[in-house]
């Protein structure tokens, strides 16, 4: 199934980057301001789905050779292991911590463990959503 729609393809090539940037922004701004892993993940996934819509499955798979089932599994593993990490450190399950670091380019930056958890959530959302869309479109032929 190849759609030959020049306008859609040209625009989506640009729009995908805007969506991806916005997704990353939402993801990073989470846990203190509106945003977070779930919403960020949804937006990231919508960029990938837009790519699927504007080109076709094979092209996207060639440029993104990932099995999204594994992406989802990796996400769950990342999220749960941050919870498990707090067991190793002897604090209550799912405890989080943060600290300020002086990084070369970013200056003084707040690094939190909750970001790792959110990254897990985001990966899970992306993985699950793309897998769902993918299997539906495969069935439809």
Partner 1 sequence: MNNLIVLPLILPIMVGVVLVFLRPYIKLQRVFSLLTLIVTAGISLLLLNIVRTDGIIRLDFGGWEPPFGILFVADSFAMLLVLTASIVTAICLIYAFSSIGERHEKMYFYPFVLFLVAGVNGSFLTGDLFNLFVCFEVMLLASYVLVTLGGTKRQLREAIKYVVINILASWFFLVALAYLYGTVGTLNMAHISERVAEAGQGPLLTTISILFLIVFSLKAGLLLFFWLPGSYSVPPTAIAALFGALLTKVGIYALFRSFTLIFYHDTLISHTLIGIMAAITLIVGCMGAIAFKDVRLIVSYNVVIAVGFILIGLAVGTETSIAGSIYYVIHDMIAKAMLFLLAGTMIYLTGKSKIDEMSGLIRNYPLFGWMFFLVTCSLAGIPPLSGFVGKILVGQGAIESGSYILLALAFLSSIVVLYSLLRIFLNTIFGETIISLEDEKPMKMGMIIPIVLLGIAMISLGLGAEFISDYVTDAAHTLANPSVYIDAVMGGNK
Binding-site ranges for partner 1 (CB under 8 A): 69-70, 73, 76-77, 80-81, 83-84, 86-87, 90-96
Q: Can you give the three-state secondary structure of 60-88, one letter per residue?
A: HHHHCCCCHHHHHHHHHHHHHHHHHHHHH
| In the complex, least distance from residue 69 CB atom to partner 1, rounded to whole angstroms | 7
Given the complex with partner 1, which of 86 and 137 has the nearer CB atom?
A: 86
| In the complex, least distance from residue 94 CB atom to partner 1, rounded to whole angstroms | 4
Exposed/middle/buried for residue 54 (C-beta within 10 Å: 0-12, 13-18, 19+): buried
Given the complex with partner 1, which of 50 and 76 has the nearer CB atom?
A: 76
Q: Is the dihedral of CA 44, 94, 85, 34 positive or negative?
A: positive
| In the complex, least distance from residue 81 CB atom to partner 1, rounded to whole angstroms | 7
């Amino acid at each position: 199934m190849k759609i030959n729609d020049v306008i859609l393809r040209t625009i989506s090539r640009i729009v995908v980057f805007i969506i991806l940037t916005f997704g990353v922004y939402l993801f990073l701004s989470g846990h203190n301001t509106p945003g977070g892993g779930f919403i960020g993940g949804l937006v990231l996934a919508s960029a990938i789905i837009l790519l699927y819509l504007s080109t076709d499955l094979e092209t996207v798979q060639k440029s993104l050779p990932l099995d999204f089932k594994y992406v989802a599994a990796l996400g769950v593993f990342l999220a749960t292991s941050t919870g498990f990490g707090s067991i190793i450190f002897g604090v209550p399950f799912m405890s989080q911590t943060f600290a300020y670091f002086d990084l070369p380019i970013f200056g003084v930056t707040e690094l939190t463990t909750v970001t790792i958890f959110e990254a897990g959530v985001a990966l899970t959302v992306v993985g699950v959503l793309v897998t769902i869309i993918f299997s539906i479109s495969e069935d439809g032929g």
